[in-house]
Chains A and B, each alone.
Chain A
């Protein structure tokens, strides 16, 4: 009788379920730790999870990490950011005029598109003007605002692209004129918005970037296959000028969103590298030596709505900022090796002196101190929190943000006696809308730098800045940012930005909580992946060891 088999099957399934629920409680992994050697494996294929379908693969149309990850392997700019800093890429060398305003890039002879055409200065000129053209709707066009008239052209104030300060002098020479000296401009040329595109292809076919057949690129890898919402397959590009130093034959980028799923895939050896494992597994992975914590240029902070009582009083803002315990938050909640933040700009950004770090030079700009906090609150007219209106902390719906907000709520209550702190969460775009409209008391925020210079953080809080949702305003701060933006003298710039940051923290316009880190898991046979502190990884030099 067939039903007996069915019942048997059901019983077996049930037994399995029970056994493994029980086994799960015991834990215990008998995974063999690999025996990866220094030799290269036969099969040079690396599988990395990017988590989600890229919006596009056109360098002018992308913004996110998944997109960036794909495009960094497919294209190459004038320079390339590597483990050892900025290196020449399509540009072999460059000259900078003494006033720091004109950059002349000399392009490499061997640089080719994967259809065999040489990569020319005209391609760069075309690509940059295209990105700035408001018709292109490039969301990261502001990365080119340092170029003369870039912003004016992008904003539609001028319509003649010839006025934009980028010009191909000949096939191999690109001249760039800047709006103002910007010492970090060079590092921006390694960013995808400033990548070249193949002029003839793009002009002929607006949909060129949608399918491998029409896709023309100049990076270490070619687009071979694009299975939407599933995976991207990239293969080594033999026409790439530095192909001899590219060891991987193939890079597969999978699009598995669910954290627990991709972690299991990684632990099963189905994928080789992942970013951001689930919070719940952080401690275990670290204990097992599977978690790597990398620097990441970002800061997690709370914004005060400085137009509202009581947050219009710097004393209140300061009291709130001094009365929380950041160490507990990073150790007990975020668990990813994040650093408590006592300033705005994260470590990892060079200062004026070679080899120095902006954060180290600046040091911590305030100290947690409950007694001072209490005193400040009393001075502001709210002794022991009495008389304070209700405070609501706004965050976008996410478990980690919620836990942090709860901790801060508790710390304010215990340390300052503030009883009426409420939490409210909103779906991402609703939350952005509330922040933008100033419809909040205290809001959670995070910022990842666009380039490795303090300016990417400092210029957020100028009066009227698009990120300045707390609408804080300080004339001296604005002046200092302006000074820093208009000089090429690194010493003057850095000094101005240090002073600006001190003002910001003295007024506690925003409350820094921690500096981000990037948590990754790599199989032990994966070698030399470069995890960029600004975001997407680079696989140009990566390889797979024998295992």
Chain B
């Protein structure tokens, strides 16, 4: 096990290094820099700015310098926001994004699994059709449309919820709903399929034959096995929620990190682009890693020993 963890760790570090390098190269190859404005700056000032941010150095030197600081988790000052370093931006933005993401994730799991199970148990009945209709909608309607629709209905028309901003519980509902629509739909469909498969297996029939109650059969025997694929989906699910947050945070004016990711590119805020990308990569790598370990833990057929066969 520890050998497997070590192996994965090394692979993760290499992945991260590739991401850092590629992002660095791509970022510097798009035209326009952090200090190109419509009202052009005097040369002396651009020179000073370039000096301060080491943009006057050759690229390889900037790159090495960045790596050295990165190892110490010093992500540098923001090019755009005088008052914040990139570390500040992440420290302030991540808890907000994590709260929103966590709530959405929880919502997607609870609603998705429940709907999937219902759908499987009532196959081809109206409940099944309804769930599948909702799932198709959740799949195909992008989160920013849902977000706008929610604002229109629940704020503009009904005045039930505030349209935007962050900090109060009622301000979490709409963004979390919009963000969880896609993963909910995905989980519901996945659980339905696996449930149907599991329910047709012999041991379930045996369980029924033994006269066990419906709840025991479904919850203890069927659902436990049907959930494994959902678990493996947790990695991509986290990714979906993270990337979904880029748009949703902007629409709802939420001070999270997703919004930073997009605006930093428009601003050519080099350090923020790098910092936020790296941070997201770490989270994704970590999420996939945890899922793999949990998977092995839950499914005795999979072993995570790194031993040679």
Residues of A with Cβ closer than 8 Å to B?
2-3, 6-7, 10-11, 14, 16-17, 20-21, 23-24, 52-53, 55-58, 61, 63, 134-135, 137-139, 141-142, 151, 154-156, 207, 209-211, 226-231, 254-258, 260-262, 264-265, 267-268, 270, 427-430, 432-434, 436, 466-467
Once the chains bind, are A53 and B81 in contact (CB under 8 Å)? yes
Compute how far the CA of A6 lies from the CA of B88 in the bound complex, rounded to whole angstroms. Answer: 41
Q: Which residues of A contact B39 (CB under 8 A)?
A: 63, 139, 466-467
Q: Assess the B37–A63 pair: CB atoms within 8 A.
A: yes
**In the complex, A215→B151 CA distance in Å?**
36
Specify the chain B residue showing the minimal Cβ separation from A9: B111
**From B159, which residue of chain A is reached at the shortest CB distance?**
A268
Q: List CB contacts (< 8 Å) of B208-244 with chain A.
A: none
Q: Is the pair B41, A17 in contact by a Cβ cutoff of 8 Å?
A: no
- Per the 8 Å Cβ criterion, residues 136-170 of B in contact with A are 148-149, 151-153, 155-159, 162-167
Query: Would you mind naming 8 contact pairs between A and B with Cβ atoms under 8 Å apart?
Result: A3-B118, A141-B45, A229-B92, A230-B254, A260-B151, A260-B251, A265-B155, A432-B37
Q: Which of B40, B43, B263, B268 contacts A429 (CB 8 A)?
A: B268
User: Do residues A433 and B32 form an inter-chain contact, with CB atoms below 8 A?
Assistant: yes
The answer to whether B48 touches A137 (Cβ under 8 A) is: yes
| B204 CB–A CB distance under 8 Å | no
Min distance, Cβ B167 to any Cβ of chain A, angstroms: 8
Q: Are A17 and B42 in contact (CB under 8 A)?
A: no
Does any Cβ of A come within 8 Å of B26's Cβ? no
For A260, give the chain B residue with the smallest CB separation: B148
Q: Are A256 and B48 in contact (CB under 8 A)?
A: no
Q: CB within 8 A of B163: which of A141, A207, A261, A433?
A: A261
Q: Known: A134-B48, A228-B92, A258-B253. Is A55-B80 also a contact (CB below 8 A)?
A: yes
Q: Name the A residues within 8 Å of B159 (CB-CB).
A: 268
Residue of B nearest to A428 (CB): B266
* Further contacts, 16 of them, CB under 8 A, given A7-B131, A55-B80: A2-B114, A7-B127, A10-B115, A10-B131, A17-B149, A52-B263, A56-B81, A229-B92, A229-B256, A230-B255, A255-B253, A264-B155, A268-B156, A428-B32, A428-B266, A429-B30
- Compute how far the CA of A254 lies from the CA of B156 in the bound complex, rounded to whole angstroms: 19
Q: A16-B153, A433-B32 are in contact. Are A230 and B44 (CB under 8 A)?
A: no
Whether the Cβ atoms of B82 and A58 lie closer than 8 Å is yes
Pick from A55, A142, A268: contact of B162, CB under 8 Å: A268
Question: Does the CB pair A430–B44 fall under 8 Å?
Answer: no
- Cβ of A427: which chain B residues have Cβ within 8 Å of it? 32, 266
Contact B118 A134 (CB under 8 A): no
* Nearest A residue to B249, CB-CB: A229
Q: How far is the CB of B155 from chain A (nearest CB, A)?
A: 5
Given known contacts A230-B165, A434-B31, is B152 in contact with A24 (CB within 8 Å)? yes
Q: Are A256 and B118 in contact (CB under 8 A)?
A: no
Counting CB contacts under 8 A, is B84 at the interface?
Answer: yes
Check A264/B31 contact, CB under 8 A, given A142-B42, A156-B44. no
- Enumerate chain B residues within 8 angstroms of A57, measured Cβ to Cβ: 83
Contact residues in B for A2 (Cβ distance below 8 Å): 114
Minimum distance in angstroms from A161 CB to a CB of chain B: 14
Question: B164 and A265: CB pair below 8 A?
Answer: yes
Q: Considering the complex of A and B, which 3 residue pairs feature the smallest CB-CB distances, nearest first? A: A429-B32, A56-B82, A256-B253
Residues of B within 8 A of A432 (CB): 32, 36-38
A230 to B164: give the CA distance in the assembly, Å: 10
A17–B111 alpha-carbon span in the complex (Å): 18
CB B39 to nearest CB in A, in angstroms, measures 7
Q: A137-B49, A256-B165 are in contact. Are A17 and B81 (CB under 8 A)?
A: no
A262 touches B49 (CB 8 A): no
**Chain A residues with Cβ under 8 A from B250's Cβ?**
257-258
The winner among A156, A227, A429 for most chain B CB atoms within 10 A is A429
State the CA gap A428–B163 with chains docked (Å). Answer: 29
> In the assembly, what is the distance between CA of A137 and CA of B47, in Å?
9
In the complex, the answer to whether B157 meets A23 with C-beta atoms within 8 Å is yes
What range describes how many residues of B lie at the interface?
35 or more
Chain A residue with the shortest CB-CB distance to B30: A430
Q: A10-B134, A268-B162, A430-B30 are in contact. Are A436 and B44 (CB under 8 A)?
A: no
**Minimal beta-carbon separation of A417 from chain B (angstroms):** 34
Q: Least Cβ distance of A87 to chain B in Å?
A: 27
Measured between beta carbons, the chain A residues less than 8 angstroms from B255 are 227-230, 255
Least distance between B179 CB and chain A CB atoms (Å): 15
A429:B33 contact, CB within 8 angstroms: yes
- Which residues of chain A have C-beta atoms less than 8 A from B251's C-beta? 258, 260-261
Query: Whole-angstrom distance from the CB of B105 to the nearest CB of chain A?
Result: 18
The answer to whether A270 and B253 touch (CB under 8 A), given A228-B92, A429-B268, is no
Indicate which residue in A17, A210, A211, A257 contacts B253 across the interface (CB closer than 8 Å).
A257
Q: Please give, as numbers and ranges, the residues of chain A lying within 8 Å of B157 by CB-CB distance.
A: 20, 23-24
**CB-CB < 8 A to B30: which residues of A?**
429-430
* In contact, A268 and B163 (Cβ under 8 angstroms): yes
Is there contact, CB below 8 Å, between A6 and B111?
yes
Is B259 engaged at the interface, CB distance under 8 Å to the other chain? yes
* Chain B residues within 8 Å of A156, by CB: 44
A134 touches B151 (CB 8 A): no
Out of A58, A207, A228, A436, which one reaches B36, CB within 8 Å?
Answer: A436
The answer to whether B163 touches A265, judged by C-beta atoms less than 8 angstroms apart, is: yes
A384 to B25, CA, bound (A): 48
- On chain B, the residues within 8 Å of A155 by CB distance are 42-44
* Nearest-CB residue, chain A, relative to B166: A230
B residues in contact with A151, CB < 8 Å: 42
Q: How far is the CA of A270 from the CA of B155 in the complex (A)?
A: 10
* CB 8 Å contact bits of B70-86 with A (1 = contact, 0 = none): 00000000001111100
Contacts of A56 in B (CB 8 A): 81-83
B252 in the interface (beta carbon within 8 A): yes
| Residues on the B chain within 8 Å of A61, using CB | 82
Contact B45 A139 (CB under 8 A): yes
Q: How far is the CB of A24 from chain B (nearest CB, A)?
A: 7
- The chain B residue sitting closest to A396, CB to CB, is B38
Name which of B37, B93, B164 has the most chain A CB atoms within 10 A of its CB. B164
Q: In the bound complex, how far is the Cα of B37 from the Cα of A139, in angstroms?
A: 10
| A contact residues around B149 at 8 Å (CB) | 17, 21
Which B residues lie within 8 Å of A142 (CB)? 42
Q: Given A257-B253, A264-B152, A6–B115 Cβ distance below 8 Å?
A: yes
